[in-house]
Chains A and B, each alone.
Chain A
Amino acid sequence: MSLLIEAKDIYVKRQGKNILENVFIQINKKDFITIIGPNGAGKSMLLECLMGTFSPDSGIINKKNNLSIGYIPQNFNPDNSMPITVKRFLMLKKNFNINNLKKVSRETKISTILEKNLADLSGGELQKVLLARSLLSDPELLILDEPAQNLDIKNQLNFYNLLNNVYKSRAISILMVSHDLHMVMASTKQVICLYHHVCCSGEPQTVAKDPEFVNLFGNDMAKMMSVYQHTHDHVHSENLND
């Protein structure tokens, strides 16, 4: 197990309230971790702290030297007032390299839409483009903030399938915020349930039975988690034939 990034005793205070309190998280090589939690639980804030774009009020963040992180933001809605092709958008990345672009385009299945206008893409296409962009720098860690939030169920499955392939073929680590429980159950190795503090964490099945999880999401949700767990093989294989 080699450590990529770890955050200890993270505190973020806003207007007298703790957005994050005493948060501990550790990401190792080949980890696939999903953070779940209610709206306003501090999930995006935690991601920002880990990426270093936001400094917590207190706490320690240790990173592996020169850790390269790929990031997919929440709610990415390109505006039509700027004309820009997918290709040009990808080329805005620092240290851009055309061979890498070709490779990543094939990997994420966006080769046919490279000349399309960014604002004209469908939701599913847009998420694939963002995934491609995050992979351009060959990251060791991918951080995704609710990546399939605005997708219909078919596109969600496609996207998560793609993400799974990337995870397996590249042997990278993934940290994701997601509400898509079927995906959480099917692919994630570890779930962290966050509500300002880490309520519980562990394998998805274990978390679903944790009293703190039931307390936060209710009994129905916990039941749903176990249902998804049960059906996950089915969903996965159907999707591969797609």
Chain B
Amino acid sequence: MIEPFLIRATIAGIGVAIIAGAIGCFVVWRKMAYFGDSLAHSALLGVALGLVLGISTNLGTIIICTLFTILLIWLQQKQILATDTLLGILAHSALSIGMVTLSLLEKSVDLHSYLFGDILAVTTSEIYLIISGSLIVLVFLYHNWSSFVLTTINEKLAKAEGLNILINQLLIMFLMTIVVAVSFRIVGLLLITSLLIIPAATARQLSHSPETMAVLASFLGIIAVILGIYSSLYFDTPSGPSIVVSAVIILIAI
């Protein structure tokens, strides 16, 4: 008999792996790994916001990450500082403000589970959230696939063919926000980027088209998540890092 918590963890993990793999391809293609990392760091402020306002931490994360993205694009347009500098400033100020806020809260917070994830403690309502978040991401990806790919290959060409670059860019960033918001309970804020880029990087070695790379990245992500969950149970190791270790082992094996 499989324990219910294990079934929940597996479903949640598969849902997250599917969208993280596909969106992760764009992170790799568009060189947005640092953006993903910064988004995840700023998510801690979202957790704090959620706890302060008494709303769900996932919703708080979506709000903060969306604000983060808008602020970043606005500052980028000003062209005063380089993007990586802006990202560093925004991410670490959000992370620090989040930490300070959390420490001021009356109730004690399990910071560790936010930073490194705790997939085995996933609740049923969180699973619904992951499934709906995943569906949103998949629908958007499916409908905008060609536009996203062409924009990624060459913005000038895409623009000349009538695509709106800014909207495409914002959509991709927004989808990343959803991925971060639904997956930080699984691998933790510090390790989300690895779930985005490691399966995608592995899939790159095996694919000849952007579509197969995305599907393969999702598939490899699922294997990494399942291996991670069971090895974490077997060896009694933290689940988030175990998933990442599994992903790295797959990368090296291939």
Most buried by A among B31, B159, B162: B159
**Would you call B209 and A83 a contact (CB within 8 A)?**
yes
Which DSSP category, helix, strand, loop or mixed, fits chain A's interface?
loop
**Would you call A82 and B208 a contact (CB within 8 A)?**
no
Instruction: Knowing A81-B28, A81-B29, A82-B213, say if A76 contacts B208 (CB, 8 Å).
Output: no
Kindly report which residue of chain B lies nearest to residue A74, judged by CB atoms.
B156
Question: What are 25 A-B pairs at a CB distance below 8 A?
Answer: A51-B160, A69-B160, A71-B157, A71-B160, A71-B161, A73-B154, A73-B157, A73-B160, A76-B154, A79-B153, A81-B28, A81-B29, A82-B29, A82-B153, A83-B207, A83-B208, A83-B213, A84-B209, A84-B210, A88-B209, A89-B153, A92-B149, A94-B161, A94-B162, A117-B208
**Would you call A79 and B29 a contact (CB within 8 A)?**
yes
Q: Does A78 reach chain B (CB closer than 8 Å)?
A: yes
Complex CA distance for A239 and B154, rounded to whole angstroms: 32
Contact with B along A61-78 (1 / 0, CB 8 A): 000000001010110101
Report A-chain residues with C-beta under 8 Å of the C-beta of B154. 73, 76, 78
Complex CA distance for A71 and B152, rounded to whole angstroms: 17
Contact with A along B11-54 (1 / 0, CB 8 A): 00000000000000100110100000000000000000000000
Q: How far is the CB of B209 from chain A (nearest CB, A)?
A: 6
B contact residues, total (Cβ < 8 Å): 23
Q: Does B204 reach chain A (CB closer than 8 Å)?
A: yes
Interface size of A as a range: 20 to 34
Complex CA distance for A178 and B156, rounded to whole angstroms: 18
Other-chain contact of B157, A76, A82, A85 (Cβ < 8 Å):
A76
Q: How far is the CB of A27 from chain B (nearest CB, A)?
A: 16
Q: How far is the CB of B152 from chain A (nearest CB, A)?
A: 7
Complex CA distance for A81 and B31, rounded to whole angstroms: 9
Most buried by B among A78, A81, A89: A81
Complex CA distance for A29 and B216, rounded to whole angstroms: 48
Report A-chain residues with C-beta under 8 Å of the C-beta of B28. 81
**Would you call B153 and A84 a contact (CB within 8 A)?**
yes
Kindly report which residue of chain A lies nearest to residue B211, judged by CB atoms.
A88
Most buried by A among B146, B152, B157, B207: B157
Report B-chain residues with C-beta under 8 Å of the C-beta of A79. 29, 153
Complex CA distance for A83 and B204, rounded to whole angstroms: 7
Contacts of A28-85 to chain B: CB distance below 8 A: 51, 53, 69, 71, 73-74, 76, 78-79, 81-85
Q: Does B150 reach chain A (CB closer than 8 Å)?
A: yes
Q: Does A106 reach chain B (CB closer than 8 Å)?
A: no
Q: Does A170 reach chain B (CB closer than 8 Å)?
A: no
Kindly report which residue of chain B lies nearest to residue A143, judged by CB atoms.
B160
Report B-chain residues with C-beta under 8 Å of the C-beta of A85. 208-209
**Would you call A53 and B160 a contact (CB within 8 A)?**
yes
Q: How far is the CB of B133 from chain A (nearest CB, A)?
A: 25
Q: What are the 9 tightest A-B residue pairs by CB atom distance, in nearest-first order? A: A73-B156, A71-B160, A82-B29, A53-B159, A92-B150, A83-B207, A83-B208, A81-B29, A81-B28
Q: How far is the CB of B151 from chain A (nearest CB, A)?
A: 10
Kindly report which residue of chain A lies nearest to residue B162, judged by CB atoms.
A94
Complex CA distance for A89 and B154, rounded to whole angstroms: 11
Known: A82-B149, A83-B208, A84-B209. 8 other contacts (CB 8 A): A73-B154, A76-B154, A81-B204, A82-B210, A83-B210, A83-B212, A84-B153, A88-B210
Kindly report which residue of chain A lies nearest to residue B145, judged by CB atoms.
A92
Complex CA distance for A117 and B204, rounded to whole angstroms: 13
Kindly report which residue of chain A lies nearest to residue B165, judged by CB atoms.
A53
Kindly report which residue of chain A lies nearest to residue B200, judged by CB atoms.
A81
Complex CA distance for A69 and B210, rounded to whole angstroms: 27
Contacts of B157-207 to chain A: CB distance below 8 A: 157, 159-162, 204, 207
